[in-house]
Amino acid sequence: MQGKLIDGKAIAREIKEELKKDIEDLKTKGITPGLAAVLIGDDPASHIYVKNKARACRKAGIYSEVITRPAETTGDQLHDLIEELNNRSDIHGILIQSPLPKHLNELDAATDINPLKDVDGFHPVNMGYMLLGSPVYLPCTPFGIIQILNHIGVNPKGKKIVILGRGNIVGKPLAVILMQKWEMCNATVTVCHTGTADIPAETRQADILVAAMGKHGFVKAEMIKEGVVIIDVGVNRVDDPESEKGYRICGDVDFDGCIEKASKITPVPGGVGPVTIAMLLYNTVRASKFLSNKKI
C-alpha cells in the first residue's frame, strides 16, 4: 500500500526547495516577494488555510501579510482594500480567501485585483490567457495536480482523464490545462457533473481520475478500473466521535475501498493540499519577477 500513496507533502517540499534559490537570488537584487492574503469573516476553515499559507511563505522567505476584515465588510470596502494592495510595491501577489460572505461577489473581487498580482489565477484576463494557451499564472490547485503527476512520472499525454466536478477553482481550469498541447498535458478529458447521465460508466474508463465534487466518499471501488491513478481534491469534514477533534477530514474518494485497485492515489489530507500551497508560492515569486521587470 505504501508504494501506492502519493506523498503531497514531499512533493511540496521539493518545489519549495527549488523556489528558495529563486527567492535568495531576488533578495540579492533588493526584491523580497510579498503576498497579501485577505480574509473576510470568521470561517474557521478559512482561518486555518490562511494561517498555513502564511507559514509556508515565511519558511520560504516570502513576505506574508494577512489582512482580516469583519463579515460585514461591504463590496466597496473590499474594492478599496484591493486597490490599496494593487498600489503597494512590496506586495506582488494578492489572495482573496474563499468563500466570501454571501453578500460579496467573488468574481467582482477577483476582477478588482491587478492581473499581474492575481496569483490565484482567477482574474478573467488570466483565465482567458490560460484558455488561449498563453498563461500568465495557472490556478494553484490545477497547477498542483500537474506537478503531482509530473513528480510521480505519470504523463497525461494520450490518456483518458475523467474529472468529477466543473467548478471554477478546479474542474473547469484543470480540463482546459489538460487539453493544451503542452508537456504533461495533451490528454483526452471528460468532465462529469450533475448533468452526466451515467458517471460510473465514465469513471471506469479513466486512466487518471480527478475527484473534485465536494461529496465525501463518492467514488467507490466499483466505479474505477484496475491501475487507475486517483487524484482526490475533496476536503470534507465528517463527524467522528473517536477523534480528539470530534471530526476527521476525508476526500471525495472511498480511500479504503479504492486503494487496492488504484496504482497511485493521493491521501486526504496530505495529498493535493500541500502542493496547492507550493504553487501559490511559485506564482508569487513569478509575480515578483513580472512586477520588478526581471526575467521570468
Give the torsion sign (CA, 274, 122, 100, 96): positive
Question: What is the phi/psi pair of residue 191, to 5°?
Answer: -110, 120
Tell me, yes or no, whether 145 and 254 share the same domain: yes
Residue 1 confidence class, pLDDT cut points 50, 70, 90 = low
Tell me, yes or no, whether 239 and 173 share the same domain: yes
| 169 in a structural domain | yes
| 129 in a structural domain | no
Tell me, yes or no, whether 102 and 146 share the same domain: no
H-type alpha helices, the chain = 8-28, 44-60, 75-86, 106-112, 124-131, 140-151, 171-179, 199-203, 255-258, 272-291
Cβ-based neighbours of 265, under 8 Å, separated by 6 or more: 4, 5, 6, 229, 230, 232, 253, 255, 258, 259
| 93 in a structural domain | yes
For residues 169 and 99, the answer to whether their CB atoms sit within 8 Å is: no
Rounded to 10 degrees, what is the CA torsion of 134, 137, 138, 143? 120
- What distance in Å separates the CA atoms of residue 180 and residue 132, rounded to the nearest whole number? 9
For residues 19 and 288, the answer to whether their CB atoms sit within 8 Å is: no
Tell me, yes or no, whether 246 and 148 share the same domain: yes
Decide which of 125 and 240 is more confident. 125
Tell me, yes or no, whether 160 and 99 share the same domain: no
Cβ-based neighbours of 87, under 8 Å, separated by 6 or more: none
| Beta strands 160-164 and 208-211, pairing class | parallel
Tell me, yes or no, whether 93 and 146 share the same domain: no
The pLDDT tens digits for 97-145 are 999 999 999 999 999 999 999 999 999 999 999 999 999 999 999 999 9
| 292 in a structural domain | no
Catalytic residue among 16, 53, 117, 172: 53
| 232 in a structural domain | yes
The pLDDT tens digits for 276-296 are 999 999 999 999 999 998 554
* CATH classification at residue 58: 3.40.50.10860
Tell me, yes or no, whether 39 and 90 share the same domain: yes
- Categorise residue 264: left if φ over 0, alpha if ψ from -120 to 50, beta otherwise: beta
| 231 in a structural domain | yes
The pLDDT tens digits for 195-237 are 999 999 999 999 999 999 999 999 999 999 999 999 999 999 8
172 is catalytic: no
Mean pLDDT over 85-89 rounds to 97
53 is catalytic: yes
Catalytic residue among 16, 22, 97, 207: 97
For residues 286 and 137, the answer to whether their CB atoms sit within 8 Å is: yes
Catalytic residue among 22, 112, 118, 120: 120
Tell me, yes or no, whether 71 and 172 share the same domain: no
Cβ-based neighbours of 75, under 8 Å, separated by 6 or more: 103, 104, 105, 108
Tell me, yes or no, whether 267 and 153 share the same domain: yes
H/E stretch holding 2 reads none
Domain count along the chain: 2
120 is catalytic: yes
Tell me, yes or no, whether 94 and 158 share the same domain: no
Residue 244 confidence class, pLDDT cut points 50, 70, 90 = confident
Cβ-based neighbours of 114, under 8 Å, separated by 6 or more: 86, 94
- Give the three-state DSSP class for 270: coil
Tell me, yes or no, whether 102 and 199 share the same domain: no
Give the torsion sign (CA, 211, 173, 42, 12): positive
For residues 185 and 177, the answer to whether their CB atoms sit within 8 Å is: yes
pTM for the whole thing?
0.95
- What distance in Å separates the CA atoms of residue 111 and residue 125, rounded to the nearest whole number? 8
| 1 in a structural domain | no
Angle between helices 8-28 and 272-291 (to 10 degrees): 20
| 281 in a structural domain | no
| Strand arrangement, sheet containing 264-265 | 188-192, 160-164, 208-211, 229-232, 264-265
Tell me, yes or no, whether 103 and 175 share the same domain: no
Question: Of 66, 69, 70, which Cα lies nearest the Cα of 52?
Answer: 66
The boundaries of the domain holding residue 51 are 30-115
* CATH classification at residue 257: 3.40.50.720
> What pLDDT is attached to residue 3?
67
